[in-house]
Amino acid sequence: AQRVTQPEKLLSVFKGAPVELKCNYSYSGSPELFWYVQYSRQRLQLLLRHISRESIKGFTADLNKGETSFHLKKPFAQEEDSAMYYCARRVYDKVIFGPGTSLSVIP
Amino acid sequence: SAVISQKPSRDICQRGTSLTIQCQVDSQVTMMFWYRQQPGQSLTLIATANQGSEATYESGFVIDKFPISRPNLTFSTLTVSNMSPEDSSIYLCSVVPYENNEQFFGPGTRLTVL
């Protein structure tokens, strides 16, 4: 089965500290991977996708096929980064989500 | 981007009743999906809503419990039938527009079953 795992359910970091949200996926060909974010009382929104190789709100994520990982990183966490983060992959036409990591940035 | 609205935004229902949730998009889209997000959990795909044909259900979800309609390229409904407290969840509509491959999510419908 195509799976996405996020080992950390909760992650707390201090403001200004680096943050890394881990994501691993089950290997199958060429994956299409995403990070979605859900801020408090807001709808789910796309943060970034691996094919774009872009940086959004200071976040980056690199696809590592050898480790089957797509970890989300930011060098300096901000309070407004506190949110729920979901790693996801597209399987044919469907997007399958990981269990999510709740990030809390401590002022 | 696609602007998605869902009705109702929330509801409290009695056990054994059914609720139909509507999803309306402001533009034609290729794909429409329905997800469920149970309390404290991630999103689980229920089914793909196919225009003009029966929906494609994921493992663990059946048409009798979650009938879905998609009469055109901008509208879909999901019915939660014969509800029980275990159906209490947020139900989300999601779409993929024609012009890009990005998947957008609606605001969700928060359902509580007593």
Residue B94 touches partner A, C-beta closer than 8 Å: yes
Is B48–A93 a contact, with Cβ atoms under 8 angstroms apart? yes
Which residue of chain A is at minimal alpha-carbon distance from B42? Answer: A99
Q: Is the peptide bond before B8 cis (omega within 30 degrees of 0)?
A: yes
A64 touches chain B (CB under 8 A): no
Flag whether residue A86 sits within 8 Å of chain B, measured between CB atoms. Answer: yes
Instruction: Tell me the C-alpha distance between A81 and A59, whole Å.
Output: 10
> B8 near B62, Cβ under 8 Å?
no
Beta carbons of B39 and B23 less than 8 angstroms apart? no
For residue B25, the model assigns a pLDDT of 96
pLDDT reported for residue A1: 62
Answer whether B43 sits within 8 Å of A86, measured CB to CB. yes
Output the CA–CA distances (angstroms, integers) from residue B75 to A71, A89, B20, B34, B108, in the order listed.
Answer: 35, 25, 13, 12, 15
Residues 6 or more apart whose CB falls under 8 angstroms from that of B46 comprise: B33, B34, B35, B36, B57, B58, B61, B66, B78, B91
Mean pLDDT value across chain B = 93
Strands B89-97 and B104-105: antiparallel
Phi–psi pair at B87, nearest 5 degrees: -85, -5
Residue A49's pLDDT is 87
Give B48's contacts in chain A (Cβ within 8 Å). 93-94
Judged by a CB distance cut-off of 8 A, whether residue B97 touches chain A is: no
Each residue's pLDDT tens digit, B50-69: 888 899 999 999 999 999 99
> A93–B96: do the CB atoms touch at under 8 Å?
yes
Amino acid at the residue B114: L
pLDDT at B113: 96
Mutate to test the interface with B, among A10, A43, A47 (most CBs of B within 10 A): A43
What b-and-e string marks burial along B49-74, b requiring 16 or more CB atoms within 10 Å of the CB? bebeeebebeeebeeebbbbebeebb
Mean pLDDT of successive 10-residue stretches along chain A, which has 107 residues: 88 97 85 92 88 84 90 96 95 89 96
Tell me the residue type at B70: R
pLDDT tens per residue, range A90-101: 888 889 999 999
Rounded CA separation B114/B98 (Å): 40
Q: Select the more confidently predicted residue: A1 or B20.
A: B20
